[in-house]
A and B are shown apart, each in its own frame.
Chain A
Amino acid sequence: MDGKLVNPSDSTRGEGFGSAPLSFGQLFDEQCGLYMAMGMSYDDYWNGEPDMPKHYRKKRETERQFRNEELWLQGMYVYEAILACAPALNAMSKKPKPLPYSQKPYPITSKDLEDTRDEQKMKQLEDGRQWMIDFAEKFNKEFYAKHKQTMKGGDGDASTGQS
């Protein structure tokens, strides 16, 4: 609180009984704009629940925290973008190609994290399935190549036998 609040000569209130040493009315007047800037309506400030300012201060604190987190996240993206570009910007680099940037936003909510985990799991399963298919194809190719003659001979014998 500054001197204005405790300076009786500044106060126009309470003159009937001498100026009050501390005018709460003046304090309310001065703070009104601040609380309106926090989103409190004029009517709520003057006529609403007495403890509303506490909640508006808490709201502002929470908003600042959220904003801080957002800015930090933005910084993370900028940092990653710079790192991804770095090889392309480096004249001495042997591979002057930018690195790939994240395909998707970073998971931050618990649902995002769960989805990412599920996606990773699905990708692992899909990779495993593809590997099995590739392996089976390769194995079959090698198997047929190895036993081509035998199989042909067998087929030939069978066909000969049939005809």
Chain B
Amino acid sequence: MAKEIKFTYDGVEYTLGFTRRTVQMLEDQGFDSSKIGSMPATMIPLLFEGAFKAHHRWTKPEVIQKIFESIGNKEVLMEKLAEMYYEPINAMMDEESDAEKKVEWTASW
């Protein structure tokens, strides 16, 4: 089951998600996940816009911009968008068993 974000805006139900095609399209538009930290103002709206491509390809950028401005809890939204973005990529990688993963890590925040 694909990871999706659902919400209603202005009476329209939206489902955000990524496919391999939309990840590729997003890269073609200049999105680079490694630059989210250094260029958040460009990359985050681009990622948000890219999440519309799978199910709402013809939504106007102005509408997406308005939705982005009015959407709450952006930090969690970004986390979820990033998870969704990496889902088609992770599916291409071989899963290793936990026993094979020898390095454990922790985050400081």
- Number of residues of chain A lying within 8 A (CB) of chain B: 27
Given contacts A17-B35, A50-B19, A51-B87, contact A25 B28 (CB under 8 A): yes
B52 within 8 A of A: no
**8 A Cβ contacts from A1-46 to B:** 13-18, 20-25, 27-29, 31, 45-46
B88 CB contacts on chain A under 8 angstroms: 24, 28, 50
Complex alpha-carbon distance, A49 and B43, angstroms: 24
Contact between A47 and B21 (Cβ–Cβ < 8 Å)?
Answer: yes
B54 within 8 A of A: yes
Contact between A23 and B91 (Cβ–Cβ < 8 Å)?
Answer: no
- Number of residues of chain B lying within 8 A (CB) of chain A: 28
Of B19, B23, B35, B42, most buried by chain A (CB within 10 Å of CB) is: B19
A28 CB contacts on chain B under 8 angstroms: 20, 23-24, 88, 92
Contact between B27 and A21 (Cβ–Cβ < 8 Å)?
Answer: no
Contact between B1 and A49 (Cβ–Cβ < 8 Å)?
Answer: yes
B71 within 8 A of A: no
Interface string of B20-48 (1 = CB under 8 A from A): 11011001111110110001001000000
Contact between A46 and B19 (Cβ–Cβ < 8 Å)?
Answer: yes
Interface residue from B27, B28, B91 paired with A50 (Cβ < 8 Å): B91
Contact between A24 and B87 (Cβ–Cβ < 8 Å)?
Answer: no
Complex alpha-carbon distance, A25 and B88, angstroms: 11
Complex alpha-carbon distance, A116 and B20, angstroms: 51
Q: Which residue of A lies closest to B26 (CB)?
A: A25
A57 CB contacts on chain B under 8 angstroms: 94
Contact between A54 and B27 (Cβ–Cβ < 8 Å)?
Answer: no
Q: Which residue of A lies closest to B28 (CB)?
A: A13
Contact between A49 and B23 (Cβ–Cβ < 8 Å)?
Answer: no
Complex alpha-carbon distance, A47 and B54, angstroms: 7
A13 CB contacts on chain B under 8 angstroms: 24, 27-28
Complex alpha-carbon distance, A49 and B92, angstroms: 12
B2 CB contacts on chain A under 8 angstroms: 49-51
Contact between B34 and A24 (Cβ–Cβ < 8 Å)?
Answer: no
A52 CB contacts on chain B under 8 angstroms: 91
- Residues of B whose CB lies within 8 Å of any CB of A are 1-3, 17-21, 23-24, 27-32, 34-35, 39, 42, 54, 87-89, 91-92, 94-95
Q: Supply 16 A–B pairs (Cβ within 8 Å), ascending by A.
A: A13-B27, A14-B31, A15-B30, A16-B30, A24-B23, A25-B23, A25-B27, A25-B28, A28-B88, A28-B92, A47-B21, A50-B91, A51-B87, A53-B91, A53-B92, A54-B95
- Residues of A whose CB lies within 8 Å of any CB of B are 13-18, 20-25, 27-29, 31, 45-54, 57
